[in-house]
Structure 1
Amino acid sequence: MVVFDLSSRLSFYICALLSAFAISTHAKLAYHGKEFVPDYVLRGTARYVPIACEMRYSVLLNGTSPGPTLRFREGRTTWIRVYNDMIDAELTVHWHGLTQRTAPFSDGAPLVSQWPIPPGHFFDYEVRPDIGDAGTYFYHSHVGFQAVTAVGALIVEDARPAPYQYHADRIFQFGDYFNKTDNIITNGLLSKTTGKFIWSGETNALLLNGKSGTKAARETRGWSTCAPEIIRVKPGRTYRFRFIGATALSFVTMGIESHPEMTIIEADGRYTQPYTTTHIQIASGQRFSTLFKAKPLHEVIASGKTHYWIQFENRERPGSVTGYALLVYDIPLRHGHTRPFRLPATLPYQKPLSLPQKVTDWLEYALQPVWSHYTEQLPPTHSVTRTIHITAYQVKTHTVEWAQNGLIWQEHKLKTPYLVDIYNRGEASIPHFHNAIRDNTYDPETMIFPARIGEVIDIVWHNNNGPSGTWDFHPFHAHGGHFWDLGSGNGTYDARRNDEYMAKNNYFPVLRDTTMVHRYAKDGVPYTSAGWRAWRVHVKYPGVWMMHCHILQHMVMGMQTVWMFGTPTQIKAEVDRPYVKGYLKYGGSAYGNSTYDPLVNEWFD
């Protein structure tokens, strides 16, 4: 049972405040030699592996895709050593949803917060989730198109009793399969192959925990990657199903045969009040948890059925793709054994579920926080210092790119990571900081959107159909902290009307880090804006952070923005220059290799 009384809220605020004091930071340099034992080790390699019963040259973490599930704990520092064992590619790892809990240079955004890890080197990432961060996350490479396979689940476990009880959890990590290599896709998107833009093509298969479910297990001839994934449960138990949107492109809808109810209890690493739904809808970058109550034993036995189809499909793309998994009940026998399970000989001849086609209203203005596990009140509208409107649209030049207010992210033009440049040049690294804030725009020299520490800003993303006249959907993701999701709608944004709607419905938004800018029509008059998403951001964490569409193709095509929270002086005050020297050069002393140990700034107490 969830309790929403004032005393529980007050006690949690006090707990969070004490935690903030406990997690004080300091500058401490240490060699990470043989005596240093990281909590986890991830090794990045590239080779041909079977995916969806085809062979694809892919970047892997610890030899598999998805990579291993990592489990952190609130209030505890975790060290992850990431080796780049590739000989011809760089690597980083981004801790999706936990950016603000990383040490400086540990966000994993290349040429923004750190130099990428060179071939033959390794880097020690330091992450410390705070009290209130318990939930579902994932980690992935932030280089090029690598995240299509270099990805894995990340769970932050509660340091105190959770507001919901369950027997165990199960991970549902959705992904995409493309039968082109990362390099072929990125070169085509950047017009490097023929001088002309070449689209990646649509996804060839959806994946659930690395399996496409496009053939029955008996039809795979020993290839398991196109067989249905099997999710096992025991009768009468309650499970936490953790859904992770690790797709490159696909917007996924899924449901479970003969199980019409799931109760959402978490979104993007924040507990929510219970909300019942018949299906899950998840885009790239998003995460949800649901409570799933398995059928009681007598009901399973009476039905004579111990397995049910899990059906997942994509939405809002030209091609329709469907995959299947199996929910299997383990029926207990004597001496701790379970009844043997016989896999179905074929996939369903007809789809067992009719999943909704409409996607624009699912969970909108629905999820609200669990007060006993909430750390900060929504800043009222009168405290908002600025509203920044950002319109996203395609630009056609010699290629096809995505722009935000005319700004196109072009990583290849950057010579130095933004955070490194701040330590090297200080205030000169963003010469138009104050003018950009005054004009609600970005610095024209550095292409950075600046914000002052303590500001409360509303960011409104607008969906424009550009020169082609066709709209697309965009799951926008924020590094540097969660935001309050103020909702979305068709047409243009009206702040007063939106405030009135939330007040009328007594709606208090939950903190999120990835939400959708929908499309409400396929096409229309070119250069028309129709569709918006509004965020409220309390600027608290000094640093350089990205906000971007999480569709990998769109990221490569320029749909990324960079934000500076705080002045360069405030950012540099987080840790003195002598303690960051090894991070300021490509392959610097903070990056180890086979010949020397890294000299690392140990950030958290």
Structure 2
Amino acid sequence: MKTRRVLTAITMAVIAFFFSATPLPVAASVVEHTFVVSQMNVTRLCKETLVTVVNGQLPGPVIDVTEGDSVVVHVVNKSPSNITIHWHGVKQWLNCWADGVPMITQYPIQPNHNFTYQLNITGQEGTLWWHAHVPGLRATLHGAFIIRPRHGASSYPFPKPHKEIPIIIGDWWQMDLALLEKHFKKEIVDDLPVAATINGKIGDLYNCSGAVEDGYVLDVEPGKTYLLRIINAVLFSEYYLKVAGHKFTVVAADANYVNPYTTDVIAVAPGETVDALMVADAPQGRYYMVALPNQAPLPDPQIPVFITRGMVRYKYDNHGEEEGDPSNDVPMVPEMPDQHDTTTSFHFHGNLTSLHRPQRTKVPVQVDEQMFITLGLGSFCPHGRSCEKRWRGNSMGAATMNNVSFQLSTDMAVPLLDAQYYHCNSTSSSGDGIKLYTLPDNPPRPFDFTNPALTPDGSEAALLQRTIRATAVRRFRYGTVVDMVFQSTSLLQTDSNPMHLHGHDMFVLAQGRGNYNASRDVASYNLVDPPMKNTVLVPRIGWVAIRFVADNPGVWFMHCHYEFHLMMGMAAVFIIEDGPTVDSILPPPPLNHPKCGSHVNSLKANELYLLDNKVVSPA
């Protein structure tokens, strides 16, 4: 009963805190960091592994700023890999140049080179994160990005916590992750992590020659409230997080406040963040904090389930008022969902609604464009192979949006943003130009998208898998209101898909199981207080409907945050055109940004162009 009373008080206190007097704002500052990217050997599970890190830390440094601040990050690349850093969820208003996607918004930072990112933190509060945007390396190149309210913690729309703790769920690989994409392109598909981590610690479920691995420990004081800033940084798993004997009050997701609700389990997919209050109201002792991945059941391919756990440990009074030694306590273990339970995730995400605040963005009523995008696996016929008899016979796998698999030309000479801004004549050092293929509004043909018979690799799905490989883009006029339905499919697998849109937040209007049906499902749209997210989990064999306003000029990446899906091409580029006023036009790049074509000796006069907005049958 004590837990229920405390959590109810937290929920009810939101209104009281929101309407309380706020202190004077703090002057904006310039927050400066230097990120030295290098490799170092780390020993885990009795094996020394070469990992790429920032400033010798895993996770990397926390960027802690106040809304309105400017952030300057000097990246010094002392690793052998090309690097970019993406500021996940930071909207980058009129600052697409700093978004950090290689050959989309910038040249990669080459080994022994430096690059400085300049970010303006405007109109956002909450938990975001930063990570490398090169294949595989974000597993160790990542850290929290915390934006605090301009008026201080007393202006939180919930009781001020005693402490704020980043909780980063990661995975541990016993390989040089720079090789991950190379192996993948050679169709070596057995690379997998060997453990999971909380704040870089593997935890005592794993042992090395009989000695258990260190785990993350959170020391708490009885009666105090803790704000857990939870981040999923793994490459390919949604995770459930529980603390035995405790409940959470969810207060924010993806740096947007939500109506508080109480739960004993957090569901967080790769790319997502969740802010949750936890009250230390259990009897003094030790309680396991457990992170468990979920996955689709058979006949989907199964991967090992790597559970990790840390510890919530109550501080004991040093003056003898409490008896006993905490090391002698038997820690309480939470009861976790089944690894194939995706319903818990469906309900968790369905419970999110936006907290009403005066500055909250309202849902646009008028919609300008509508898109229906199927997400699934497909196949293509590589050059030099014969695939006539059966599409799957000698084909290679791809991940697709409306049967288009994203691929950047390896011969590109300038990033797409530069080509768009400067109207470069060519983006290819060969002079052939890279053709941009317009992402279609709909899949090439309708079918029963979630039919389980399509999951096994059978002939029934062969024609539905045919894939176009292209640099898929979609152009929007400034201010366009876009409705988009993401439909997961059962083609070869039934995974969920965490879809991340750079530079924008999305209103999550509705989600559902099975196939989307507009005549039925539009009526269920939440147009009053839908959550706003930068990463939207499209449920397994289900759909999600989102709405966003294309009001941030630039070239923005939209992609699945499962690393293998991204490497296989589940991505597209959204080009947002300039608006009619000075404050709706993308400014020139910073002085340190290489000018268009400066990385190549010459460019031939081939036009950069778009293909017709229709699906072309693959050759």
Query: 2:315 corresponds to which residue?
Result: 330
Shift of 1:257: 1.2
Aligned residue for 2:417, secondary structure, equals: helix
Q: Structure 1-normalised TM-score?
A: 0.78
Query: 2:14 corresponds to which residue?
Result: 2
Query: 1:194 corresponds to which residue?
Result: none
In structure 1, give the amino acid aligned to 2:295: E
In structure 2, give the amino acid aligned to 1:386: E
Q: Is 1:162 aligned to 2:156, yes or no?
A: yes
Task: Specify every segment of 5 or more residues in structure 2 that has no aligned partner in the other structure, as ranges.
Answer: 1-12, 297-301, 383-395, 428-432, 445-467, 601-619
Query: 1:459 corresponds to which residue?
Result: 484
Shift of 1:419: 0.7
Query: 1:370 corresponds to which residue?
Result: 355
Query: 1:510 corresponds to which residue?
Result: 531
Provide the C-alpha distance between the structure 2 equivalents of 1:187 and 1:342, rounded to a whole number of angstroms. 46
Shift of 1:408: 1.7
Which gives a bigger RCO, structure 1 or 2 (Cα 8 Å, sep 6+)? 1
After TM superposition, list the pairs within 5 Å mapping 1:130-209 onto structure 2: 130-131=122-123, 133-160=124-151, 161-164=155-158, 165-191=160-186, 197-209=187-199
Provide the C-alpha distance between the structure 2 equivalents of 1:490 and 1:355, rounded to a whole number of angstroms. 20
In structure 1, give the amino acid aligned to 2:336: S
Structure 1 200/514 Cα, relative in aligned 2: closer, same or farther at 3 Å? farther
Query: 1:71 corresponds to which residue?
Result: 64
Provide the C-alpha distance between the structure 1 equivalents of 2:486 and 2:406, rounded to a whole number of angstroms. 16
Residue of structure 2 aligned with 1:229, choices 216, 234, 240: 216
Residue of structure 2 aligned with 1:582, choices 594, 614, 619: 594
Query: 1:312 corresponds to which residue?
Result: 291
Between 110-119 and 99-108, report the one with greater CA deviation.
Answer: 99-108
Q: What is the Cα-based RMSD across aligned positions, in Å?
A: 3.8
Q: Is 1:247 aligned to 2:252, yes or no?
A: no
In structure 2, give the amino acid aligned to 1:519: R
Q: Is the 8 A contact 1:311 1:353 kept in 2?
A: no
Provide the C-alpha distance between the structure 2 equivalents of 1:461 and 1:308, rounded to a whole number of angstroms. 39
Q: Is the 8 A contact 1:51 1:211 kept in 2?
A: no
Query: 1:551 corresponds to which residue?
Result: 562
Structure 1 184/2 Cα, relative in aligned 2: closer, same or farther at 3 Å? same
Q: Is 1:565 aligned to 2:576, yes or no?
A: yes
Task: Specify every segment of 5 or more residues in structure 1 that has no aligned partner in the other structure, as ranges.
Answer: 24-36, 192-196, 301-305, 521-530, 589-605
Q: Is the 8 A contact 1:136 1:288 kept in 2?
A: yes
Structure 1 216/457 Cα, relative in aligned 2: closer, same or farther at 3 Å? closer
Aligned length: 529
Query: 1:410 corresponds to which residue?
Result: 407
Deviations 1:513-554 (A, max 9, x none): 11212224xxxxxxxxxx222210111100100110001121
Shift of 1:343: 7.4
Q: Is the 8 A contact 1:230 1:327 kept in 2?
A: yes
Deviations 1:248-298 (A, max 9, x none): 112111211122x211000000111111111111110011011111127xx
In structure 2, give the amino acid aligned to 1:163: P
Structure 1 403/307 Cα, relative in aligned 2: closer, same or farther at 3 Å? same
Shift of 1:369: 1.6
Indicate the percent of aligned positions where both proteins have the same amino acid.
Answer: 24
Residue of structure 1 aligned with 2:521, choices 498, 510, 513: 498
Shift of 1:240: 0.5
Provide the C-alpha distance between the structure 1 equivalents of 2:221 and 2:162, rounded to a whole number of angstroms. 10
Provide the C-alpha distance between the structure 1 equivalents of 2:573 and 2:550, rounded to a whole number of angstroms. 14
Q: Is 1:263 aligned to 2:274, yes or no?
A: no
Between 423-432 and 59-68, report the one with greater CA deviation.
Answer: 423-432
Q: Is the 8 A contact 1:205 1:212 kept in 2?
A: yes
Provide the C-alpha distance between the structure 2 equivalents of 1:500 and 1:92, rounded to a whole number of angstroms. 42
In structure 2, give the amino acid aligned to 1:331: Y
Query: 1:596 corresponds to which residue?
Result: none
In structure 2, give the amino acid aligned to 1:292: M
Q: Is the 8 A contact 1:241 1:292 kept in 2?
A: yes
Provide the C-alpha distance between the structure 2 equivalents of 1:335 and 1:80, rounded to a whole number of angstroms. 48
Provide the C-alpha distance between the structure 1 equivalents of 2:552 and 2:230, rounded to a whole number of angstroms. 28
Shift of 1:181: 2.3
Q: Is the 8 A contact 1:479 1:547 kept in 2?
A: yes
Structure 1 378/495 Cα, relative in aligned 2: closer, same or farther at 3 Å? farther
Q: Is 1:106 aligned to 2:98, yes or no?
A: yes
Deviations 1:440-488 (A, max 9, x none): 899998531111111100111122233x3x3222111110110101222
Q: Is the 8 A contact 2:371 2:484 kept in 1?
A: yes
Q: Is 1:122 aligned to 2:103, yes or no?
A: no
Provide the C-alpha distance between the structure 2 equivalents of 1:110 and 1:563, rounded to a whole number of angstroms. 15
Shift of 1:321: 2.3
Q: Structure 2-normalised TM-score?
A: 0.77
